[in-house]
Amino acid sequence: MVAVTLAVDDLVAAIIDAQAEGDALLATREVLTRAVSSPDDLIETFSPRVGGLQILHNTPELTILNLVWAPGMYLLPHNHLMWAEIAVYAGTEDNTFFRRSPGDRTHIVETGGKQLHTGDVLLLGDDAIHSVENPLDKVTAAIHVYGGDFVRKPRSQWGPGSRGEHPYDFEFVNREFAAANARAGLA
């Protein structure tokens, strides 16, 4: 167990150190690219078996999460209002992108998508709005890094129900993880 903790601490420290570089986004991308180039190491470290969100580091300047998507899980469109980097170390993550509707800024329209596979790293700008889906019948896992306090920053989600804008609701998101785990028979 000590080796696992050290591996997580080393990854978090490397990401934190990257923030001090001249180009923090590029430096963070390099750290994440190295990390997912050996996905078996991350799988061994995190043992992703159940969907959920694990906070590895959270400050006003930086949040690092280990995010595991249950099989078939879908998360409503949401924004971050800060840059984000996603590094997939197991499975596939389907991202659908949106923009605010010109006629009604509280609604969104789809603008495209990007499928991420094991080893992929994706940068999202601070204006990104996206939904996420795990299209597989097994878990998908990724390290998510955010350039701010992802946990406490007021943000938006679109839904449930209509695609109208609502305050981001962490409790709703946690219920979605629990429901997806239950549907997949994960404990």
pLDDT averages per 10-residue partition of the chain, 187 residues: 64 96 94 95 94 96 97 96 98 97 88 98 97 97 97 94 88 94 92
Buried b (16+ CB within 10 A) or exposed e, 45-62: bbebeebbbeebbbeeeb
pLDDT of residue 163: 80
Q: Which residues contact 10 (CB under 8 A, 6 or more apart)?
A: none
For residues 109 and 126, give the distance between their C-alpha atoms in angstroms, rounded to a whole number: 18
Q: What is the greatest pairwise CA distance in the chain? A: 55
Domains in the chain, number: 1
Provide the CATH number for the domain around residue 67. 2.60.120.10
For residues 45 and 163, give the distance between their C-alpha atoms in angstroms, rounded to a whole number: 37
What predicted TM-score, i.e. pTM, was given to this entire model? 0.93
pLDDT of residue 161: 81
pLDDT of residue 45: 93
Residues of the domain holding 64: 2-184
Structure tokens at 85: 């980097």
Query: What are the Cα distances from residue 91, in Å, to 43, 50, 85, 139?
Result: 11, 13, 17, 7
Of 82, 80, 87, the C-alpha closest to 147 is 82
Q: Which residue has the tokens 């790293």?
A: 121
pLDDT of residue 6: 54
